[in-house]
Amino acid sequence: MNERLKELRKTLKLTQKEFGVKIGVTNFTISDIEKGKRVLTERNLNSICEKFNVNKEWLANGIGEMFLPQLPEDDFSRLLSEIEESDDEFIKKFLEIYWQLDDIGKKIIMDLAESLLRNQKK
């Protein structure tokens, strides 16, 4: 599994540090796994497969293709993915707060945003 992890990381063109950040571990952990000094945990295995659309059977056992077939992505899913990958802490905090609002608060925010957009287009 360690060699397949390294192959995956290189296919994704990520450093050990970049790869580790994306799944929530250190570059030292990735290095140790790739060298066979450490075992890939089930949690990390699942995280890698979910984050990078990797075929779990391939990563764990070398069976099948590296990646799962891509499902068509709708605009909302694409937007969420971009936000998740972004370093924009403002938008993440804004969305976190927005989801905590009741329906009236959400409507006020939506009305305000639509008004700002209309004025910006003028």
Distances (CA, A) of 58 to 71, 102, 120: 18, 44, 49
> What are 74's two structure tokens?
């709708």
pLDDT of residue 44: 93
Q: 58-68: string of b/e by CB count within 10 Å (b at 16+)?
A: bbeeeeeebee
Q: Which of 70, 19, 13 is nearest to 40 (CA)?
A: 19
The answer, yes or no, to whether residue 76 has pLDDT greater than 70, is yes
pLDDT of residue 122: 72
pLDDT of residue 46: 92
Q: How far apart are the first and last CA of the chain?
A: 57
Block residue for tokens 């063109």: 13
pLDDT of residue 71: 61
What residue ranges do the domains of the chain occupy? 2-61, 75-121
Q: Which of residues 61 and 73 earns the better pLDDT score? A: 61
The answer, yes or no, to whether residue 87 has pLDDT greater than 90, is no
pTM value is 0.58
**Category of 39 on φ-ψ map: left (φ > 0), alpha (ψ -120 to 50) or beta:** beta
pLDDT of residue 42: 93
Average of pLDDT values for 54-83? 84
pLDDT of residue 38: 94
- Say if domain 2-61 classifies as CATH 1.10.260.40: yes
The answer, yes or no, to whether residue 72 has pLDDT greater than 80, is no
